[in-house]
Amino acid sequence: MEGSPDKDTHIDPTRPQLGADRTPAGLALRLGFMDTFLADFRLNGNLTLACRAANVSRTTVYTWARDDVEGFAAAFAEAEQEACDRIEAEILRRGVEGWNEPVFYKGEETGKIRKYSDILLIFLAKARMPAKYRDRFEGMNLNLGDTLNVGNLSVGQRNNIISAIAALSEEELERLVSRGKSDD
């Protein structure tokens, strides 16, 4: 229906709405929505929360990016990278600096213990240094053309297969898929 508001339910009807106003005032309003969205997205990396903060729909944001309205596409990509950098910094902080967790005895806090996240550091190392820390599965002969009865496998064996498939590069996956097609 023409003129209907965005279908996203988080739009607050009591706040100003983004319209097709092409006047200088409309442009200023649109840029304000964009700035609010980008500032929030930079901090939390969550599209839905940033849309709520700016009172715009996801569809509007995707349209701005697709049409590169007022240079939005590059600003959006930069904000996304900043959000990713913040996440990576937090992973590093939790893995290296850790955090204090309270210790209780008989319901009373008696101290704190320093905790670290080895798992987060492992994932960061795999992402940043794949040549050194990528999962390797030499000796595993995965033939995706065969039917695999996972019911006969232990949980550990199933997890190894899942990890092996997840660790394959796009090129390796494409090669396996094309090899499977040629076996038909």
CA distances from 70 to 67, 143, 168 (A): 9, 50, 39
- At which residue do the structure tokens 């929505």 appear? 33
Q: What is the pLDDT along the chain (184 residues), one digit of tens a residue?
A: 444 444 444 555 445 445 555 554 555 567 788 999 999 999 999 999 999 999 899 998 998 899 888 888 999 999 999 999 999 999 999 999 999 999 999 999 999 999 999 898 888 888 888 888 877 766 555 555 555 666 677 777 777 777 777 777 777 777 777 766 655 4
Residue 44: both structure tokens together: 């939390």
pTM of the predicted model, to two decimals? 0.56
